[in-house]
Structure 1
Amino acid sequence: MKYHIEKNTVQETLIIPLYGRKKCTEKFPQLFKDETAVRLIEQIDYDFSEVEKKGDSTMQEFGFLEIAIRQNDLAYEVKEYLKSHPNAAVVNMGCGLDNTGRNCDNDSCRIYNIDFPDVIEVRNSLLPAGEREKNIAADLKNTSWFNEIQADGGVIFFASGVFYYFLTEDVKALFLAMAKHFAQGRIVFDTCGKTGAKMISKTWLKQAEIKDVNAYFSVGDAQKEIAHWSDKFEVSSRGYMLGYQSLNVPSVKRIHRILAKVGDNMMKMKIVRIDFK
C-alpha cells in the first residue's frame, strides 16, 4: 500500500525535493545517483502531474541540477570530515526525506535526522532509522535537541535548503549556541546573496509567505558577514554549482553551465563551512 500525501499540506513540501532528486538521477546520471529517492517516489501516492508538466523545461532541469549538485557538495563535506573523525555524529538538519547521512555512512559514525514532528512521522514510515541512526522530531530553533546528539567523536552538521526560511538573528543565535555546545564541531550549509534571494522570491519565498526578504538569512561574503559573529568561528565557502566538481559531462547542457556560473557569481550561491573552535 502506498503512503498517501495530500495536496496543500506541510507533508507536500517533502515531495518536491524528493522528486527533484529522482529526476536528477534520471537526467544527470554521470553526476548524481539517489536510489532512495527513486524507490520512495514509487511508494508514495501523490499527483505529480503538475510537476511533470514542467519537468523538461530548461529552468526546471536546471533546478533539478541545483538539487543534485547541492547534495553532492554536502555529501563531500561530510565524507571529508569523517576521514579525520570516523566516529563522529552526522546530523542532517531539516532532513525531510533526504538520505545523505546514510549514503555517507562509514560503518562507525552515528547518524541523526532532525525535522518537525509531522515530517518525522512520514520519515519513520518511509525511511525508518537504521543501525546507528536516529530520527529526531524537533524544531531546530529549540536547542533542547542538542542533548540527543552524542558528539564525543566529533560532529558535523549539514543543512540543505533550510536557512533561507530563518531570520538572520535566529541563524546567528543557533550557530552561537552550537559553537558553545559542540566545540570542535563543524556545520556546512547552502546559501545565496540578497540578489539571489530576491530573484527567487516569486517561488519559495512566496510559498512561505515571506515578504521582507532582507530580514531573512542570506550571505554575500561569508567570511565578512559571519566570521565576526564569534571568535569561535572559522568560516570558509566555495561555489555551490562549480566549487566542488566540473559540469563538463554530456548530460549537462551548455545553457546549464552558463546558468551555473551566474548562480555562483551573481547570485552568490555558496556552500558555507563553519568550524567551531
Structure 2
Amino acid sequence: MVLNKIQLDNEKETLLITLYAKALDSRSKNSILKDKKAAELVDMIDYNFEKLHSFGNETMVVRAKQLDSWLHTFLENHQDATVLNLGCGLDTRISRVHPPSTVKWFDVDYPEVIEVRKHFYSNCEGYQMIASSVTELNWLEKIPKDKPAIIIAEGLLEYLTKDEVEILLERLTKHFPSGQIAFDVMNSFAINAGKEHLKKTTGAEHKWAVDDIHEVDKLNAKLKRIASFSIFRSKYIHKLPFKLRFLYTIMYVVPNFRNMIRLLLYKF
C-alpha cells in the first residue's frame, strides 16, 4: 500500500521530519532506535522526503531514545499507568516500547494527522487515538484520571506560545493524581537559526524559546524538575558515528550551541 500525497501543512507537516529521521536511523549500521516500523511507514507514504535531509536527523533520534528511556523507567514502576503521547504525529513509540497490557495509552494530535495515522494504527484495547489540538479544551476529558500518568511531548511545545504551554501544564497536572512529564525545549539561538529553513520547507514556526530553564520551573508550582541536560550530553550521543560525536563535543563548548536543545523531565 502506498498513500496518496499527504496534504498536511505548517506544524502538522513537521511530523514527517521526525518520522524520516527515525527511518534513516533504522537503516544505519549502528541504529539507536532500531525503529523498523518508521522505515515501513516512510516507504508507504508518497512524499518528497529528500528535502528533509538537513533537519538534524541524528539529534531527533537521540531525543526520541532518551524519552523512550524515561518512559521505560516509569512503566517499570507503574505498570498500570496512563501514557499520554502529545503531538504524536506518525510516531511509532508504542511499537518500540511495547507497554504492559495493563497500561492505557493515548496518542493525541490534530484531526488531520489522526486521519493519516489511522492508515497505520487502529484503536484497540489499551490504545486510543484522540483527534484534537492539545490546546483545545475538551480532549482531556476522554482520558481516565485515576492512574499515575507519564506525558511525552516530543518536538511539540516549541510550536506553542509560552501562555499555551502554561495552560496545558496546568490542565495536565490538575487532571492526573501524579506522574511525570518529559519534553524538549529550544533556545532562541536554535529557533532563529532554523527559522527560515523550517518556514520555507513546511510553513511551520517555532514560538516558544527557552534560554533559562528556571523559567520553565516557574510555569507550574506542582512540577518538580528531576532531570535536565543538553541533548549533546545524552548518553545516546555516544552511539553516533565518530565524526558526529566529535562535532557535538565541539558544539557543547559554545553556550549558544550547548543549549540549543535541552531535554527536561518533571514529576508532579
- Out of 239, 245, 252, the residue aligned to residue 229 of structure 2 is 239
Q: 2:94 and 2:122 mapped to 1: Cα distance?
A: 13
Which residue is equivalent to 1:40? 41
Q: So what's the TM-score if we normalise by structure 1?
A: 0.84
The superposition leaves residues 15-42 of structure 1 with CA deviations (integer Å, 9 ceiling, x where unpaired) of 3321221111123634221111111122
Output the CA distance in 2 between the equivalents of 1:203 and 1:244.
Answer: 26
One-letter amino acid of the structure 2 residue matched with residue 90 of structure 1: V
Is it true that 1:139 corresponds to 2:140 in the alignment?
A: no
State which drifts further: 177-186 or 63-72.
177-186
The two structures, once aligned, show a CA RMSD in angstroms of: 2.5
2:195 equivalent to 1:195 = no
* Match in the other structure for 2:210: 219
1:262 and 2:254 correspond: no
The correspondence of residues 52-67 of structure 1 with structure 2, limited to 5 A, is: 55=53, 60=54, 63-67=56-60
Q: Which residue of 2 aligns with 1:172?
A: 166
Q: For 1:53-92, list aligned pairs within 5 A.
A: 55=53, 60=54, 63-92=56-85
The 2-side partners of 1:208 and 1:157 are apart by 27
Does residue 263 of structure 2 align to residue 271 of structure 1?
yes
Report the equivalent of 1:93: 86
C-alpha separation between the residues in 1 aligned to 2:230 and 2:25? 16
Q: Which of 201, 223, 229 does residue 219 from structure 2 map onto?
A: 229
AA aligned to 1:115 is D
Q: Identify if the C-alpha distance between structure 1 residues 153 and 71 changes in structure 2 by more than 3 Å, giving closer, same or farther.
A: same
1:118–1:161 distance in 2 versus 1, CA, 3 Å = same
CA distance in structure 2 between the aligned counterparts of 1:164 and 1:248, rounded to whole angstroms: 26
Q: Match of 1:124, as an amino acid?
A: K
Task: Note the residue ranges of structure 2 that are not aligned, 5 or more in a row.
Answer: none
Q: Deviations over 1:108-145 (max 9, x none)?
A: 21110000101000101122234310000011011311
Partner of 1:184: 178
Query: Is 1:19 aligned to 2:8, yes or no?
Result: no
Amino acid of the structure 2 residue aligned with 1:259: Y
Task: Give 1:253 shift.
Answer: 3.2
- Give the direction of change, closer, same or farther, for the CA distance of 1:273–1:127 in structure 2 (3 Å limit): same
Residue 234 of structure 2 aligns to a residue in which SS?
A: coil
1:253 equivalent in alignment to 2:242: yes
Deviations 1:186-232 (A, max 9, x none): 2111112122222222222564464xx7xx3122232x112223321
* Secondary structure of 2:140 counterpart: helix
TM-score normalised by structure 2 residue count: 0.86
Percent identical pairs in the alignment equals 23
Separation in 2, partners of 1:246, 1:2? 33
Q: Which amino acid aligns with 2:208?
A: F
SS in 2 for 1:202: helix
Number of aligned residues: 262
Unaligned 5+ runs, structure 1: none
CA contact (8 A) 2:14 2:204 kept: no
User: Residues of 2 paired with 1:101 and 1:85: CA distance?
Assistant: 16
The list of structure 1 runs, each at least 4 consecutive aligned residues, that deviate by more than 6 angstroms after superposition, is: none
- Tell me the residue number matched to 1:117: 111
